[in-house]
Amino acid sequence: MADTGGTGIDSVLVAGRGPMACAVIAACAARGVKTVAVHSATEPHARHVRLADDAVWLGPAPAAESYLSVPRLVEAARRSGVSAVLPVPPALAGNVELAAAVRSVGLTWVGPDPAVLERLGGDGVEPASELGFLAVVTADGLAHVTPVRRDREAGTARVSWTTGEAMALPAAAQRLPELGWRGLVTVGIDPEGALAEVAAGFSLDVAVLERAHGVDAVDLALRSAAGRLRPVPDAPLRPAVAAQLRSTLPPGTAGRVTGRLPDRPAGPGSDVVAVTGYDRGDRLDGWYDALLATVSAAGPDTGTAARLVAEVLTGLPETGVPHDGAAVCSVLHRLADG
């Protein structure tokens, strides 16, 4: 019998791809939870597929016909014999139709209740606000509250970090427990201090929460879905920073990774964690957003954490594909310099 680490869930279909899916699969494996990956016709040998215990073909290359297809994901979960579906990106984790369909076939949905999603976050959009926070929502309230700021100069969040400032949470955010939200939540706050967006799933910010509090977000999500999330003691928050490394290949252009990408597994007391979605020789499919790797770190202050992340991304060997490492490091260096 699998050692589920006290979550009560012994197997999951990991709905997603890329570095985030690889991180989730590794975290599940560390807890003895069997993982089943999903893939399109063009990614049967992708890294997230190789890391998983098993894999299921979804459909053709277009995401709408594979990775984002509700009927195909539900059928894949049913055929694979898993006990739960763990959605990775906010686009899936906030999908009301998917959540309801998973529940309808008798499987555990690792995320908020479909009715709650429909009311609060059913659009599946990752928070775009420059200011926000993360938390774990329990019936008793918000735990591991982590205020964050995000750099969005490139139109997407490249760098996210703890603010080190006291934050007054919007009244609507404080009501999440009574509204029925359970598990991880990523929140955006508008310039007036009001609630802007609410999202489920594993955004870039989740790595900030993990490093800041020394917790495993996958473990928290599984325990919450199984109704086994014990009261979460809040420890002092450590300054933390997370960054994404993306390929800058033109949209629709494929490539091949020929060099090493950052990869430092998480472990007890890890100050620096890097997760890549590709190994040397892997093909970048032109159909999908080419997120190459995520790097996160904690330190005695935000500047130190930013420097730790920059050290991992500075001077990367030739990767075979162009990337935005220099631009990301520029943001990190500014952050390190205050």
Residue 2 lies in a domain: no
pLDDT at 74 over 90: yes
pLDDT mean over 314-319:
87
pLDDT at 283 over 50: yes
**Angstrom distance (rounded) from CA 144 to CA 314:** 31
Q: Band the pLDDT of 154: cuts 50, 70, 90.
A: low
Q: Given CA atoms 294, 22, 66, 287 in this order, what sign does their dihedral have? A: positive
Residue 126 lies in a domain: no
Structural domain including 299 reads 240-336
Domain check: are 116 and 140 in the same one? no
Q: What is the CATH number of the domain that holds 177?
A: 3.30.470
Domain check: are 114 and 154 in the same one? no
Q: What six digits make up the tokens of 227?
A: 């109704």
**Overall domain count for the chain:** 3
Q: What is the pLDDT of residues 131-150, one digit of tens each?
A: 999 999 999 999 999 999 99
Determine the pLDDT at residue 4.
58
Domain check: are 80 and 136 in the same one? no
pLDDT at 337 over 90: yes
Cβ atoms of residues 204 and 160 within 8 Å: yes
Domain check: are 112 and 135 in the same one? no
What pTM was estimated for this model as a whole? Answer: 0.94
Cβ atoms of residues 289 and 43 within 8 Å: no
Domain check: are 244 and 302 in the same one? yes
Domain check: are 116 and 149 in the same one? no
Determine the pLDDT at residue 1.
39
Residue 202 lies in a domain: yes
Domain check: are 115 and 144 in the same one? no
Domain check: are 153 and 107 in the same one? no
Q: What is the CATH number of the domain that holds 15?
A: 3.40.50.20
Determine the pLDDT at residue 121.
63
Residue 4 lies in a domain: no
Q: Band the pLDDT of 72: cuts 50, 70, 90.
A: very high
Q: What is the pLDDT of residues 96-116, one digit of tens each?
A: 999 999 999 999 999 999 999
Domain boundary residue, one of 120, 148, 183 = 120
Residue 5 lies in a domain: no
Q: What is the pLDDT of residues 5-24, one digit of tens each?
A: 667 899 999 999 999 999 99
Domain check: are 283 and 306 in the same one? yes
Residue 212 lies in a domain: yes
Q: What is the CATH number of the domain that holds 320?
A: 3.30.470.20
Q: What is the pLDDT of residues 210-260, one digit of tens each?
A: 999 999 999 999 999 999 887 677 678 999 999 999 999 998 999 999 999
Domain check: are 100 and 45 in the same one? yes
Domain boundary residue, one of 225, 252, 271 = 225
pLDDT mean over 180-203:
91
Domain boundary residue, one of 66, 91, 120 = 120
Residue 233 lies in a domain: no
Domain check: are 101 and 142 in the same one? no
Cβ atoms of residues 73 and 144 within 8 Å: no
pLDDT at 327 over 80: yes
Q: What six digits make up the tokens of 99?
A: 């959540």
Instruction: Determine the residue type at 298.
Output: A
Residue 301 lies in a domain: yes
pLDDT mean over 154-165:
81
